[in-house]
Amino acid sequence: QNVTQTVEEEKPEPPTVQEIKQKIEKYNAKVTNCLLMKLNDDGTYTGFIKVHLKLRRPVTVPAGIRPQSIYDALKEVNLAEMTDKRTSFYLPLDAIKQLHISSTTTVSEVIQGLLKKFMVVDNPQKFALFKGMRKDGQVLFQKLPLTEYPLYLRLLAGPDTDVLSFVLKENETGEVEWDAFSIPELQNFLMILDKEEKEKIQQVHRKYERFKQRLQQTLKEARGKPG
């Protein structure tokens, strides 16, 4: 899997309402799970996208807070603001979150919405949304600009997630503002990196230890043969 950098391209003229209507009809004809797109009277439209969470680092969440209920969501209760205590937590790898968004919803708003759903209090600048495209048997990931509209990309690609997928990852392109991290977070990152380094060293040691054993066994067998 390769990661390509964001490429600034000259965008074509925005489609007309009639063109959008035709694209939505074509899109809905391919939908098999009832997750249809809907055109509004003002020319905007709504639909669903699925975002794969592939976060290798722990996120910061409120400590001792129960999961958000439907009541909290409807009342827009922000449970994260109910306590100043924080803890680190690993989100399930390859978890998938389905979002109902509008054609006016930007990448930045999608990232913020995902963090809110999981009660993650980390700075949104630490994360980036990528689009995954299959080409020549490989999945190429491209970082999306914060001003891009994911639902429009979904509309153009169709409902097949093998053609286009969305992935939330850590923002590791050098654009992270490290001043946004607290001292405990930075210390936590150092501890994680130290642990990963030790695990990698152990893997290398085990690899060459197995190689050494096989080599010694081969030499031993060779000595016992005539000639």
Per the domain annotation, does 204 fall within a domain?
A: yes
Higher pLDDT, 223 or 140: 140
Q: If you average pLDDT over residues 9-20, what whole number do you get? A: 77
Tell me, what CATH number does 116's domain have? Answer: 3.10.20.90
pLDDT level of residue 69 (50, 70, 90 thresholds)? very low
pTM surpassing 0.75?
A: no
Average pLDDT over residues 130-140: 84
Residue 159 and residue 126 share a domain: yes
Residue 164: inside a domain, yes or no?
yes
Burial of 86 (0-12, 13-18, 19+ CB in 10 A): middle
Determine, yes or no, domain membership for 132.
Answer: yes
Confidence check: pLDDT of 77 > 50: no
Q: What is the pLDDT of residues 170-217, one digit of tens each?
A: 987 555 556 666 777 677 777 877 887 888 898 899 889 998 998 988
